Structure 1
Amino acid sequence: MSKRKVLIVEDDQAIAELERDFLEVHGYEVTLRADGRKALEEALEEEYDLIILDVMLPGMDGFDLLRRIRETKFIPVLMVSARKEDIDKIRGLGLGADDYVTKPFSPTELVARVKAHLERYDRLTGVAAGTGHLHAQKSRELNIRELTIQIDARRVTLRGAEVTMTAKEFDLLLFLAENPDRVYSKEALLDRVWGIDNYGDTATVTVHVGKIRDKIQKDPSGHQFIETVWGAGYRFKV
């Protein structure tokens, strides 16, 4: 089995090399890039299984880099930053990051997050290692009003038009749609969808729900698929 390929975009050489060394010890193939624009070329031209992305970079900052990557790539992206403000975390998650880690962090924690995100991505997508592309397969479907969720193909359509979603947005929508009319707290969703206890916070859930709503609930007068139950959590309405 080929090694999983990880791209680290980090301009602090000491941190980048430390991350690389720990990941290589655990069997990953790692490429380092320090410049944002060069990293973008690398991310778009080569096939990686996961990207670790610093926020403050020369050439192009991590947020702009993530935005460009998400136009075509839906592999896991972990953002790391010394900036601990909630607004930065919300911005990163809102742009499609799967995780946001603040410095300083332990290298073993980073390895654990990488492993958890890759395992979950593989389990839910059926992606071939090192390709980032879905296998063609017959799709099971959920049809709720004008919304169609193709489970195996991991596609979402609304009134016949395809809705582009990140891996975690799809996972969250599918979980709620498969469990309609039940209220789930943010903590429960973090556990059931992300499946990495102590490696996230509830802001992650809030941001992802907001992004899903932006994509499938654009019309305020239309059907509201995901309802907020104040003080309790979220509920999928059929």
Structure 2
Amino acid sequence: MDSSPPPLGSVGSGYRALVVDDEVPLAELVASYLQREHFEVTVCHTGVAALAVARDVDPDVVVLDLGLPGIDGVELCRQLRTFSDAYVVMLTARDTEIDTIVGLSVGADDYVTKPFSPRELVARIRAMLRRPRTASVPVSSSGQPDPDAQPPRMFGPLSIEIGSRQVFLDGEPVALTRTEFDILAALSSRPNMVWTRRQLIEAVWGEPWVGNDHLVDVHVGHVRRKLGDDAADPRFVFTVRGVGYRMGTGQ
């Protein structure tokens, strides 16, 4: 495991991180790396404590061990998602597809397999926090995003409001995680254009991200489920076999 200190920077300035791992030395090591990047870091070693802290400090990112005692990482992530849209990076000691699917299915944004380099973990967190969110949204004279300057992206009964990061289906709001919204925003930015998995990774996770492209499939699956979009008979998100995905309102 890489224990050399990362270069100092300001990416974490103003960001709050919650590190949850029952391996105390590992949790403290991850925390020290984040603190050197100027994050405000809180460390917990149980799921129960982490839930209470998450409600109190409202973290921007949560580094979460899958194998916690008591409330495990999967259940903790599921409960977090009922009140928090923090980025969640799940740590797992098992590099199997089923573990990845289980972790991401409850709302985690990324995963890292133990043993890992803390430097790589911090780099992934940095990439997530630097995502060019709604980069195409016009800004007002004050320099702030102007949600009213861009009309909603409409796909039949589906409305995607980029400025306010809201999605409505038949007039009803659809609750998406940050990553799910970013995937939908990317796909909807170029209707009928086929996006490869790598293009979606670069648009959503950032070009430096390294990992399994299967991550895209899992998150697209979540988006479809929340939109009531059957992959076998889709209305909005279409699979282009051997290539990737496109968004439209017809085959």
Q: Above 0.5 in TM-score?
A: yes
Report the alpha carbon displacement of residue 228 of structure 1 after superposing the two structures with TM: 0.8
The aligned amino acid for 2:147 is: K
Note if 1:57 corresponds to 2:68: yes
Report the alpha carbon displacement of residue 201 of structure 1 after superposing the two structures with TM: 1.8
Report the alpha carbon displacement of residue 221 of structure 1 after superposing the two structures with TM: 9.4
2:83 — aligned with what?
A: 72
Q: Is the 8 A contact 1:99 1:200 kept in 2?
A: no
Structure 2: unaligned runs, 5 residues or longer:
1-9, 136-143
Note if 1:175 corresponds to 2:186: yes
Show CA shifts across 1:129-168 (max 9, x none): xxxxxx9963431122101111111000000010000011
Identity fraction in percent: 40
What secondary structure sits across from 2:192 in the alignment?
coil
Alignment partners' CA distance in 1, 2:193 and 2:36: 43
2:147 — aligned with what?
A: 138
What secondary structure sits across from 1:124 in the alignment?
coil
Note if 1:86 corresponds to 2:97: yes
Alignment partners' CA distance in 1, 2:184 and 2:15: 27
The runs of 4+ residues in structure 1 deviating greater than 2 Å are: 135-140, 196-200, 217-223
Report the alpha carbon displacement of residue 52 of structure 1 after superposing the two structures with TM: 0.4
> Which runs of structure 2 are paired with 1:160-171 in the superposition (5 Å)?
160-171=171-182
Q: Is the 8 A contact 1:182 1:235 kept in 2?
A: yes
Structure 1: unaligned runs, 5 residues or longer:
127-134
Alignment partners' CA distance in 2, 1:98 and 1:57: 18
The aligned amino acid for 1:207 is: V
Change (3 A) 1:21 1:220: closer
The partner residue of 2:133 within 118, 124, 132 is: 124
Q: Is the 8 A contact 1:12 1:34 kept in 2?
A: yes
Task: Answer 1 or 2: which has greater helix percent.
Answer: 1
Report the alpha carbon displacement of residue 219 of structure 1 after superposing the two structures with TM: 6.3
Report the alpha carbon displacement of residue 217 of structure 1 after superposing the two structures with TM: 3.1
1:109 — aligned with what?
A: 120
Instruction: Return the TM-score normalized by structure 2.
Output: 0.84
Change (3 A) 1:223 1:160: farther
Alignment partners' CA distance in 1, 2:45 and 2:197: 35
Aligned-residue CA RMSD (Å): 2.2
Alignment partners' CA distance in 2, 1:226 and 1:57: 35
> Which runs of structure 2 are paired with 1:1-238 in the superposition (5 Å)?
3-120=14-131, 123-124=132-133, 138-139=147-148, 140=150, 141-218=152-229, 224-238=235-249
Report the alpha carbon displacement of residue 42 of structure 1 after superposing the two structures with TM: 1.0
The aligned amino acid for 1:61 is: D
Alignment partners' CA distance in 2, 1:43 and 1:56: 18
Show CA shifts across 1:32-79 (max 9, x none): 100111111111232211110001112200000000001111111110
